[in-house]
Amino acid sequence: MTILAKLDSHAARTPDAPALDGVGYAQLRTASLRVATQLRRAGIAPGDRIVLYAENSHAFVYAYLGGLRAGAVVVPANVLYRESDLAGVIDDSGAIAIAVSRQSRPFAAAGTSIMLLDLEDVAAWAADASLDPGEFRLPNEERLALLIYTSGTTGRAKGAMLTHGNLAAIAEQVTTAWHWTSRDTLLLALPLFHIHGLGAGLNGTIFAGARLLLRERFDALEVARALRAGEATMFFGVPTMYVRLLESDSTEGFDRVRLFVSGSAALPASVHDAFAQRFGASILERYGSTEFGFALTNRYAGARYAGTVGFPFPGVDVELLRADGKAVALGDVGEIAVSGPNVSTGYWRNEAATDAAFFIDERGRRWYRSGDLGSYDSERGYSIVGRIKELIITGGFNVYPLEVEDELLRLPGVRASAVIGKPDPARGEIPVAFVETENGTNPQLLIAALQTRLASFKIPKEIYQIEALPRNAMGKVDKPQLRARLLAEGGARGR
């Protein structure tokens, strides 16, 4: 089974059922065939890579599905990329074409000489009733479908290879675990260039035969209005989106929304609790990665514990490993490893990185070592405690930044926090924190408040007040930027 096969099945069985806003399943299928036909006429051959560099739109969806239908490998690119970043993706993928929006066109036109496809033309192809779409054989599950480049916040971005089978497995896992059916409507403001928006949001909708309400970007007031009006039964977001919804003055709930999902960055326990108290809805947090889509989810039915990401999705295996590859003892922290039909086949043209991150066990199962540190509790499930590269070792003691960040967020006046290690000649490293605070917040008082909440070695030795933490397009804090700022002694320091 593939996403395209699911689209074709729904188009045959329920042709008029809404798929994308007011676009029905039969219409969406026809649009993908028309776009695939035009791509072939433009010289796109099976296996060719096409970069999609654009904001959310119907044309993005048509280009994505049409590209897959034509047998191409689609390469979604972050719309925040500029000439250098974009050139890196194009060069590494060997793309022969790039589809762009009006907003992104200037950066693409300046940075590349490959075939330039305008998404306005793609939209016109999709709507052209005079265009006789060709016939295309559905790709098999083993065929490469996507190259999705990692965010690059921990080094040079790598292209994770996801097959048609991987995409279908990811979609099946989320639809099964979250009881997603054709009766649902998902309001989606996440970017489609990311696995959260594309792999769960769009592909999950198509797999379930449901409806997608697509937004170009997140607008808290508009999203809140639509959810309160009962326009959707599901909403997927990143933590910053839930913070913005909490910042509204209204206490009116979202009675017709049966599921709120958070991912792509850690959801602070304080935000989880505040959302439940204000709106009477328990956010379901899940854990995922570009390399495997999604691996862990809070229970759909049953208690959802703040600060946890629950249990494996159907068909997914998760282990916590020591540095030597052996399983950790129960209750210990270890590196999260994931196995299942959703796991990427590796990194595009990067054998060294593939060998470092993926391995085959004695039973022939393929595993991905995530670089994330987690712990497990039989009742609460898994908790993410940080990244291996972010682990702070101070005087021989381990400090997991996420734990300290969560405690900082519980203090009055703190809007956001990020903890990193600073080199120290006596202790190797010391924890320091960057915080977004309300006016008048005293960093020294924050440190004092933590003394009753954390062990002394975990307490930040310095706090830097910052107007806004640097973040990537999915709201994840860019800690390498903070380390560079620390070296430059930027920020107002509290000792």
pLDDT score at 185: 98
pLDDT score at 99: 95
CB atoms closer than 10 angstroms to residue 323: 8
Give the pLDDT band of residue 112 (cuts 50, 70, 90): low
Q: How many residues does the chain have?
A: 495
Task: Encode pLDDT of 375-399 as tens digits.
Answer: 999 999 999 888 888 888 887 778 8
Angstrom distance (rounded) from CA 264 to CA 270: 17
Least confident of 113-127, 191-205, 269-283, 477-491: 477-491
Does residue 397 or residue 4 have the better pLDDT? Answer: 4
Compute the Cα dihedral for 180, 181, 184, 189 and give only its sign. positive
pLDDT score at 489: 63
Angstrom distance (rounded) from CA 165 to CA 241: 31
The angle, 0 to 180 degrees and rounded to 10, between the axes of the packed helices 220-228 and 239-246 is: 80
pTM of the model: 0.86
Q: Is the pLDDT of residue 455 over 90?
A: no
Segment 241-263 shows an average pLDDT of 88
For the ranges 159-173, 229-243, 399-413, the one whose mean pLDDT is highest: 159-173
pLDDT score at 151: 60
Give the pLDDT band of residue 14 (cuts 50, 70, 90): very high
pLDDT score at 490: 45
Decide: 139 and 71 in contact? Cβ < 8 Å: yes
pLDDT score at 243: 87
Q: Is the pLDDT of residue 280 over 70?
A: yes
Task: Encode pLDDT of 322-353 as tens digits.
Answer: 988 888 988 889 999 999 999 999 999 999 99
Task: Encode pLDDT of 155-172 as tens digits.
Answer: 567 999 999 999 999 999
3-state secondary structure the chain: CCHHHHHHHHHHHCCCCEEECCEEHHHHHHHHHHHHHHHHHCCCCCCCEEEEECCCCHHHHHHHHHHHHCCCEEEECCCCCCHHHHHHHHHHHCCCEEEECCCCHHHHHHHCCCEEEEHHHHHHHHHCCCCCCCCCCCCCCCCEEEEEECCCCCCCCCEEEEEHHHHHHHHHHHHHHCCCCCCCEEEECCCCCCHHHHHHHHHHHHHHCCEEEECCCCCHHHHHHHHHCCCCCEEEECHHHHHHHHCCCCCCCCCCCCEEEECCCCCCHHHHHHHHHHHCCCCEEEEEECCCEEEEECCCCCCCCCCCCEEECCCCEEEEECCCCCECCCCCCEEEEEECCCCCCEECCCHHHHHHHEEECCCCCEEEEEEEEEEEECCCEEEEEEEHHHCEEECCEEECHHHHHHHHHCCCCEEEEEEEEEEECCCEEEEEEEEEECCCCCHHHHHHHHCCCCCHHHCCCEEEECCCCCECCCCCECHHHHHHHHHCCCCEEEC
Q: Is the pLDDT of residue 23 over 70?
A: yes
Least confident of 69-73, 95-99, 108-112, 297-301: 108-112
Q: Is the pLDDT of residue 402 over 90?
A: no
Segment 443-463 shows an average pLDDT of 88
Angstrom distance (rounded) from CA 157 to CA 77: 11
Segment 212-239 shows an average pLDDT of 95
Segment 241-246 shows an average pLDDT of 90
Give the pLDDT band of residue 221 (cuts 50, 70, 90): very high
Single-letter code of the amino acid located at 462: E
Least confident of 235-239, 301-305, 424-428: 424-428
Least confident of 24-33, 310-319, 377-386, 395-404: 395-404
pLDDT score at 154: 46
Decide: 28 and 20 in contact? Cβ < 8 Å: yes
Place of tokens 């120290």: 424
How much of the chain exceeds pLDDT 90, in percent?
Answer: 64
Q: Is the pLDDT of residue 74 over 80?
A: yes
Q: Domains in the chain and their CATH numbers?
A: 3-139 (3.40.50.980), 195-386 (3.40.50.12780), 391-494 (3.30.300.30)
Does residue 106 or residue 53 have the better pLDDT? Answer: 53
Give the pLDDT band of residue 494 (cuts 50, 70, 90): very low
